[in-house]
Structure formats: C-alpha cells, structure tokens
C-alpha cells in the first residue's frame, strides 16, 4: 500500500451490511476512512464512476503502484480485513 494511503469504505449509516463491515473492522483493529455516499455527493460520484453502480459497502484498496482495487460485498470485505491482520 502506498505510504499514507488508507483503506476507504464507501457506505451509508443505515445500511445493515455496512454496519457489519464497520463492526468487523473495529473488532479487528483495522482503521478505515469512512465515506458516506448519502452525506457527500462527491463520494457517491466516485463510487458510481468506479463501480458503475451505487451499491454499498465497497472497500477501496490503494495499491503500492498507485493502482486501486475496489472490493464489493460485505463478506468479501470482512475476509480481506481478517487476512490483513494475520
């Protein structure tokens, strides 16, 4: 991961799947930058451009070469976070 680049979770507060991911990250001690797509239209636009849809949660994972991976689906995000802390 590039220096200073954080994992970013695109979410919104009332989303139950997002709540599960946020809770898992907190339990695992993984810090996430939270981007609420209902509170900030810029975040909604970023997500739509990257994914072609507005479904959350989606984890934005910065790569070491400046590339970015977008990971949807709460179960997949939680599994990724578990792998990071091992």
Instruction: CATH number of the domain at 29, please.
Output: 3.40.30.10
What global pTM score does this model have?
0.92
* Per-residue model confidence as pLDDT tens digits over 23-80: 999 999 999 999 999 999 999 999 999 999 999 999 999 998 889 999 999 999 999 9
In a domain, 28, yes or no: yes
Domain total for the chain? 1
Instruction: Report the DSSP pairing between strands 68-72 and 58-62.
Output: antiparallel
In a domain, 1, yes or no: no
In a domain, 14, yes or no: yes
Question: Residue 3 pLDDT > 70, yes or no?
Answer: no
72 closest CA partner among 30, 4, 15, 27: 15
User: Which residue(s) pair with 60 in the sheet?
Assistant: 8, 70
In a domain, 3, yes or no: no
Q: In this predicted model, which residue has the larger pLDDT, 29 or 1?
A: 29
Give 52's contacts (C-beta < 8 A, 6+ positions apart). none
């Amino acid at each position: 991961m590039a220096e200073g680049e954080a994992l970013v979770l695109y979410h919104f507060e009332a989303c139950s799947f997002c709540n599960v991911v946020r809770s898992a990250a907190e339990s695992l001690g993984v810090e996430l930058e939270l981007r609420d797509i209902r509170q900030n239209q810029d975040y909604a636009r970023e997500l739509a451009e990257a994914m072609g849809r507005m479904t959350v949660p989606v984890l934005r994972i910065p790569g070491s070469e400046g590339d970015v991976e977008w990971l949807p689906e709460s179960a997949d995000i939680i599994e990724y976070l578990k792998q990071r802390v091992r």
